[in-house]
Amino acid sequence: MSARCSICPRNCLIEPGKFGACGARTCIQDHVVHADYGLLSAIHVDPIEKKPLHHYLPGSNALSLGSFGCNLMCRGCQNYSISRARCQKGDGFKLSPDEIIQTAKTYQCQVIAYTYNEPIIWAEFVCETAKKVKAAGLKNIMVTAGYVTQDTAKWLFSDIDGANVDLKGFSEDFYKTWANGSLQPVLETLEYLHSIPNFWLEITTLLIPGINDDPQMLKKEFEWIAEHLAPTVPVHLSAFHPDYKALDIPATPAQTILHAKKIAEDVGLKFVYPGNVRIPADTLCPSCNAPVIRRQGYHIEITGLTGDRCTACQTKIPGVFI
Ligand code: SF4
């Protein structure tokens, strides 16, 4: 018998032995399960700045894990070799949660990052690993597009300490035509994550020329963040490069990123960071403008932070720094 998956808003009805739309989940004996539990496509030690998270343990290493598949279908996916691959035996490799923890300790990683492809679709393995990671005294972060049902979010994020959520644009039409998805569930996920006590949230928007960089649309997005989350939620504005089925779209000019940054700051966002371009991405104190963290690529220098306060004026800088 076929079974319906309730992990994400697609609610796929999956025939026995077939895959859901994400290519990662299948139906076995009337139950939807991950097609190959624990299968990984990649493991790397990355600076946490690469996720990107700029206010969460800056300068730390994140042992970064990816699997296969994705529940959104972005035309310009920058990771399509794994996101569009099906999760099946013969690809990738396996590590147990205990082996992941041991590897993190060997490479002096304080953090495990579930990233590269969408962690929501391998939720059960993420949860099992995250629970053990937490018990071992390490931290868990997720890099996700947030396209998940709220029922799933409640158990999926229970042992996750922070996330960077990809808010891809700010209209239902854009989500439908670019990603074959919808915006509203992502907004609900953002509100839910922001409401979890001690959970650290940052947001990334990839600016795609002529597709989602309309100044009015960006203004609405930034106003929504300020109003529904907080003006202190860090926002990363990242440059697109032509990839996958969007080779006809040019790379994002630095000027577009700078213009979007100004729109965000004009609506009151306090921490707006350019990504994938050679524009400074220092953290400045929102009160006295002193540089508290300087960044060059993924290299950082803490120049004006004492604990979680600006050394110059004692303003508390939001984030997890110690
Ligand atoms: S997680 Fe995959 S199988 Fe489940 S509803 Fe979403 S796309 Fe379909």
pLDDT digits 0-9 by tens, 58-69: 999 999 999 999
pLDDT score recorded for residue 322:
76
pLDDT score recorded for residue 90:
67
**pLDDT tens for residues 268-278?**
999 999 999 99
Pairing of strands 291-296, 283-284: antiparallel
Q: Are 233 and 225 in contact (CB under 8 A)?
A: yes
pLDDT score recorded for residue 314:
98
Interatomic CA distance for residues 292 and 278, integer angstroms: 19
Atom of ligand 1 nearest to the CA of 71: 7
Interatomic CA distance for residues 279 and 198, integer angstroms: 30
| Number of CB atoms found within 10 A of residue 304's CB | 21
pLDDT score recorded for residue 88:
76
Interatomic CA distance for residues 316 and 109, integer angstroms: 26
pLDDT score recorded for residue 108:
97
Pairing of strands 291-296, 299-302: antiparallel
pLDDT score recorded for residue 119:
98
Quote the ligand 1 centre to 157 CA distance (angstroms): 17
**Best CA proximity match to 141, nearest among 72, 75, 54, 264:** 54
- Hey, which of 2, 4, 10, 125 would you mutate to test ligand 1's pocket, going by the most ligand atoms within 8 Å of its Cβ? 10
Nearest CA to ligand 1 atom 5: 11
Atom of ligand 1 nearest to the CA of 25: 3
Nearest CA to ligand 1 atom 3: 20
pLDDT score recorded for residue 91:
78
Rg (CA), the chain: 19
Could you give all domains of the chain from N- to C-terminal order, each with its CATH number?
3-281 (3.20.20.70)
pLDDT score recorded for residue 233:
98
Task: Please work out, in degrees rounded to the nearest 5, the angle formed at the alpha carbon of residue 28 by the alpha carbons of 155 and 25.
Answer: 50
pLDDT score recorded for residue 147:
98
Quote the ligand 1 centre to 150 CA distance (angstroms): 14
Which residues of the chain fall short of a pLDDT of 70? Answer: 89-90
